[in-house]
C-alpha cells in the first residue's frame, strides 16, 4: 500500500484567509455578509462579546483599507458593504494558491494530477463537476478564439523596404 506524502506547511484557502484576517475581522466580515449593509453601530449590536465601539470602527476601517469592505457616508456615519461574497473571496484565495503552485515548477502535470486525485477522493460527483467545468471553459475559450478570428482585419499590410 502506498503511503501519501503530506506537506506540513501547506494550508487550505480557508486557512490562508483565516491567517490573513484577525478573529474580529473575520467576525465583522461574517456579520456584514449575513446582514448586508452595516454601520459600526449595527455590527456592535450583533457582536456577542463586549468589544468597544472604537475597536469595531477601527476593524471596519482596516477591512475597508484591505479592500474587503466598501463604504459610503450616510449622515455622520459610514455604512459598509462587502466587496465580495464569502465564496468569491475563498475562490480568489484558492485561485492564487493554484496559480502559485503552477508557477513553481516546469511540469504542471503532477500538480493537476494531485488536484484530480484530491477531488476524486472526496466525491465522485465533484469529479463530474470538475469535468463539466473543464468542458465549459474549453467552449468559452473556443468561442473567444472564434470572435478574435472574425474580428481580425481582412487585409494584411504590406512591408516597407528600408532605405539604404
The domain locations on the chain are: 15-84, 105-150
User: Is residue 97 a contact partner of residue 13, using CB atoms and an 8 Å limit?
Assistant: yes
Would you call 146 helix, strand, or coil by DSSP? Answer: helix
In Å, what is the CA distance from 130 to each residue of 49, 119, 134, 148?
41, 8, 6, 27
Mean pLDDT (whole number) for 108-124: 80
Over the stretch 73-114, which tens digit does the pLDDT of each residue have? 999 999 999 999 989 888 887 788 778 777 776 777 777 788
In Å, what is the CA distance from 38 to each residue of 20, 44, 56, 59, 163?
22, 10, 12, 13, 69
In Å, what is the CA distance from 112 to each residue of 7, 28, 63, 103, 107?
16, 36, 34, 12, 10
Mean pLDDT (whole number) for 38-44: 94
Cα(42)–Cα(35) distance, integer angstroms: 9
Tell if the pTM clears 0.75, that is, is over it: no
| Least-confidence region, from 30-39, 134-143, 153-162 | 153-162
In Å, what is the CA distance from 14 to each residue of 18, 92, 93, 153?
6, 11, 8, 47
pLDDT for the residue 4 = 47
Cα(32)–Cα(43) distance, integer angstroms: 8
pLDDT for the residue 61 = 96
Cα(82)–Cα(111) distance, integer angstroms: 33
Fold of 15-84: Arc Repressor Mutant, subunit A (1.10.10)
Share of the chain above pLDDT 70, in %: 79
Amino acid at each position: 500500500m502506498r503511503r501519501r506524502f503530506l506537506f506540513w506547511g501547506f494550508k487550505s484557502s480557508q486557512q490562508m484567509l483565516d491567517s490573513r484576517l484577525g478573529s474580529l475581522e473575520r467576525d465583522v466580515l461574517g456579520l456584514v455578509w449575513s446582514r448586508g449593509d452595516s454601520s459600526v453601530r449595527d455590527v456592535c449590536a450583533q457582536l456577542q462579546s463586549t468589544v468597544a465601539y472604537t475597536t469595531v470602527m477601527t476593524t471596519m476601517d482596516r477591512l475597508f483599507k484591505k479592500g474587503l469592505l466598501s463604504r459610503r457616508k450616510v449622515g455622520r456615519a459610514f455604512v459598509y458593504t462587502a466587496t465580495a461574497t464569502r465564496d468569491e473571496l475563498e475562490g480568489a484565495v484558492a485561485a492564487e494558491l493554484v496559480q502559485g503552485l503552477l508557477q513553481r515548477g516546469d511540469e504542471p502535470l503532477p500538480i493537476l494530477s494531485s488536484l484530480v486525485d484530491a477531488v476524486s477522493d472526496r466525491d465522485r460527483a465533484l469529479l463530474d463537476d470538475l469535468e463539466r467545468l473543464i468542458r465549459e471553459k474549453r467552449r468559452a475559450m473556443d468561442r473567444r478564439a472564434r470572435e478574435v478570428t472574425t474580428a481580425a482585419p481582412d487585409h494584411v499590410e504590406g512591408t516597407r523596404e528600408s532605405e539604404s
